[in-house]
Amino acid sequence: MSELKDCPLQFHDFKSVDHLKVCPRYTAVLARSEDDGIGIEELDTLQLELETLLSSASRRLRVLEAETQILTDWQDKKGDRRFLKLGRDHELGAPPKHGKPKKQKLEGKAGHGPGPGPGRPKSKNLQPKIQEYEFTDDPIDVPRIPKNDAPNRFWASVEPYCADITSEEVRTLEELLKPPEDEAEHYKGWVPSFPQIPPLGKHYSQRWAQEDLLEEQKDGARAAAVADKKKGLMGPLTELDTKDVDALLKKSEAQHEQPEDGCPFGALTQRLLQALVEENIISPMEDSPIPDMSGKESGADGASTSPRNQNKPFSVPHTKSLESRIKEELIAQGLLESEDRPAEDSEDEVLAELRKRQAELKALSAHNRTKKHDLLRLAKEEVSRQELRQRVRMADNEVMDAFRKIMAARQKKRTPTKKEKDQAWKTLKERESILKLLDG
Amino acid sequence: MALVSADSRIAELLTELHQLIKQTQEERSRSEHNLVNIQKTHERMQTENKISPYYRTKLRGLYTTAKADAEAECNILRKALDKIAEIKSLLEERRIAAKIAGLYNDSEPPRKTMRRGVLMTLLQQSAMTLPLWIGKPGDKPPPLCGAIPASGDYVARPGDKVAARVKAVDGDEQWILAEVVSYSHATNKRHTLSRRRVIPLPQWKANPETDPEALFQKEQLVLALYPQTTCFYRALIHAPPQRPQDDYSVLFEDTSYADGYSPPLNVAQRYVVACKEPKKK
């Protein structure tokens, strides 16, 4: 309800002239009967009084007209909006009760969706006042308020599922199917691709050490280059490549590794020796002769093992070949099972996890691909059916036209011409054939 | 003969007028009821401080009824006023006829010069009874209403009052109040004037409440009849009338006063016309 201050009306005081006070002659004349009549001399005063009455009456008339105009305009301003809405509601209130709501209906609904209607919870009316106003409207207007728009909302929500498939959608599907083929390349970049996981490569500490060294040398070379620019000398240091750096690093590592406890011999070798050698751990100080003796005892096995403590820096390949020979021997003896699987995997949990995930992904993507293929196939089929349905609709229209012509003819009380009959039959048959195609 | 018929006619008219007046009062008492309703609705709306559509439609209905009532009332009143005018014109005709008849009958020169006082009273009365122009909504005041000048080809009818510029015997020209006897008819004792020396006086009063534009505004130069005389002099409007029955308050050009103007004097609407002369001769 609008507030009083919004009201453009001015509440005029419509009081008629009090003729008893203002128009005495007039009153007197009124009081007289017909017989007495009016004297001529009274005409003047009467005239004046009548003029007064007339002027007040006409003033009243003018004001009333102005106020009515304001009222009408005011009501029309609000009523227009409302009636406009109701008019459109009426149109939509009779939607075709097909099972195939069209896109146009959705647009029509969306177009007038913002238009408020009382009782629509999702209406985006900014002024709830207007809604209340509509509720208290004349009884005449009540039936025009849309009865039930639930079916409209239902069809609107179902629309995306039942709408026709467009060729664009089919094309999108096809494009979606393509990537599975180049998935491998796509993934290589950041995840180990499905066919292979790249080898571990250098450990990051080594790599970073390498890179840092290179950086420092580059900086030094740059400084030297700046200093020697005139001579045009490029220091030999700048040409250091990775190989040299590697050698440098290995040297430093080798120096670091020496104090390590671990011996260069392979794990199997160590285990074997442990089993064979009895070590006396109790007196480590007096161990020096014993290891020599044990070393001598087992000297038969491998002379190369005796100078264990002194000759630390054994040639590396030597120990490795020893290790592998022992392994082979043990496997041949049946003491050790041949290890088929690459040993590295068991130690590398990350890799194991990666492989598991990869396997999952592979399975999933394969599944997806099959589904997409199915979808594409179905979509293509549906598109062809849609075309057929479209033709059926056109045939329907033609049949309706023919029907109307015949009805008109019948109304005019003449038999439909042969031409009309033939046309009717033709359209009917056409429609039936299309329908058969559709159902078949 | 003619007089008698005129008399009976007048009597008839008077009766009709009486009837009309009675009708008016009926109409008015009827519409009174509606007006009271409107008043009540206004009060209710104002106390509730809300305008519901119910009230709006109700008010519209009431207003429409009140409008119809007011229109009906106006119509009857207009008819009554017309009747009065008719009667008056009949009376006037009778007077003129009597005068003419008297002229013919009497051999003596008629002692028709009135005493000044009587004349003045007559003038005043005629000024007062100048019909008030109450137009219907949308009507514009016609020419010769208040300050609205006459249309270019207006021909004064016999009996119309005019302001005429006549040459007195001593050569002075003066605007005097005159009555048109006939158009370009020469008789003795009458002045024959060319048209441009004659300004018709207004035939209607302008209602300040409804047609303020038909009134002379402040400081306008006009020719006004000096009170208690029959001569027009130049004057400035001091104040236009507030109510239909009021007079203009004018300042006459008077060299005998210090600032050149007289104190404000009241002149009826009927005796104020637009001044065409640029300068007093």
Q: How far is A54 from chain B (nearest CA, A)?
A: 6
B245 touches chain A (CB under 8 A): yes
| Region of poorest pLDDT, from B147-151, B169-173, B199-203 | B169-173
> Alpha-carbon distance B156 to B201, whole Å?
10
Report in angstroms the alpha-carbon separations of A247 from A251, B132, B239: 6, 127, 121
| Region of poorest pLDDT, from A378-382, A432-436, B27-31, B198-202 | B198-202
Q: What is the 3-state secondary structure (H, E, C) of A322-344?
A: HHHHHHHHHHHHCCCCCCCCCHH
pLDDT for A364 equals 92
User: pLDDT at residue A427 above 50?
Assistant: yes
Of A75-79, A209-213, B108-112, which one has max mean pLDDT?
A: A209-213
pLDDT for B137 equals 64
pLDDT for A305 equals 47
Number of Cβ pairs < 8 A linking chain A and chain B: 148
Q: How far is B107 from chain A (nearest CA, A)?
A: 30
Residues within 8 A of B (CB atoms), A 137-176 only? 137-138
Averaged pLDDT, B30-59: 78
Averaged pLDDT, B102-106: 57
Q: What digits encode the pLDDT tens for the residues B4-25? A: 677 777 778 778 878 888 888 8
pLDDT for A141 equals 52
Q: How far is B121 from chain A (nearest CA, A)?
A: 13
Q: What digits encode the pLDDT tens for the residues A260-278? A: 455 677 787 888 888 888 7
Nearest to B244 among A43, A51, A138 (CB): A51
Q: How far is B83 from chain A (nearest CA, A)?
A: 10
Averaged pLDDT, B132-152: 67
Q: For an interface test with B, which of A12, A19, A59, A61 has the most B Cβ atoms less than 10 Å from its Cβ?
A: A61
> Alpha-carbon distance A189 to A406, whole Å?
73
B207 touches chain A (CB under 8 A): yes
Q: What digits encode the pLDDT tens for the residues B237-280? A: 888 888 877 888 888 888 788 788 888 888 888 888 887 665 54
| Region of poorest pLDDT, from A77-91, A189-203, A214-228, A257-271 | A77-91
- Counted residue by residue, chain A has a size of 440
pLDDT for A88 equals 44
C-beta atoms of A51 and B136 within 8 A: no
Helix (H, G, I), strand (E, B) or coil at A193: coil
pLDDT for A33 equals 63
Q: Would you tell me how many other CB atoms lie within 10 Å of the CB of residue A433? A: 13
Averaged pLDDT, B190-200: 62
User: Percentage of residues in chain A with pLDDT exceeding 70?
Assistant: 50
User: pLDDT at residue A233 above 50?
Assistant: no
Of A47-51, A353-357, B44-48, B101-105, which one has max mean pLDDT?
A: A353-357
Averaged pLDDT, A60-82: 74
Chain centroid to Cα A261, Å, comes to 59
Phi/psi of residue A431, nearest 5 degrees: -60, -40
Q: What is the 3-state secondary structure (H, E, C) of A225-286?
A: HHHCCCCCCCCHHHHCCHHHHHHHHHHHHHHHHCCCCCCCCCHHHHHHHHHHCCCCCCCCHH
Q: What digits encode the pLDDT tens for the residues A296-320? A: 444 444 444 444 444 455 556 677 7
Sorted by sequence, the CB contacts under 8 Å of residue B84 that are 6+ apart come out as A43, A46, A47, A50, B17
> Alpha-carbon distance B58 to B40, whole Å?
12
Task: Write A347-350 long-range contacts (CB < 8 A, 24+).
Answer: A348/A200
Q: What digits encode the pLDDT tens for the residues A3-45? A: 545 556 666 666 666 666 666 767 776 666 665 556 667 777 7
Domain boundaries, chain A: 19-76
C-beta atoms of B137 and A68 within 8 A: no
Q: Are residues A206 and A214 in contact, defined by beta-carbon separation less than 8 angstroms?
A: no
User: pLDDT at residue A132 above 50?
Assistant: no
A7 touches chain B (CB under 8 A): yes
Averaged pLDDT, A221-229: 76
Residues within 8 A of B (CB atoms), A 18-47 only? 19, 26, 29-30, 32, 34, 37-38, 40, 43-44, 46-47
pLDDT for B46 equals 76
Q: How confident is the model at residue A145 (pLDDT cuts 50, 70, 90)?
A: low
Residues within 8 A of A (CB atoms), B 9-68 only? 10-11, 14-15, 17-19, 21-22, 24-25, 28, 31-32, 35, 38-39, 42, 45-46, 49-54, 56-57, 59-60, 63-64, 66-67
Nearest to A68 among B35, B60, B134 (CB): B60
pLDDT for A306 equals 46
pLDDT for A116 equals 40
Report in angstroms the alpha-carbon separations of A223 from A211, A226, A244: 18, 5, 20
DSSP A113: T
DSSP A61: H
User: pLDDT at residue A148 above 50?
Assistant: yes
- Burial class, B124, CB count within 10 angstroms (exposed 0-12 / middle 13-18 / buried 19+): middle
Nearest to A30 among B21, B63, B134 (CB): B21
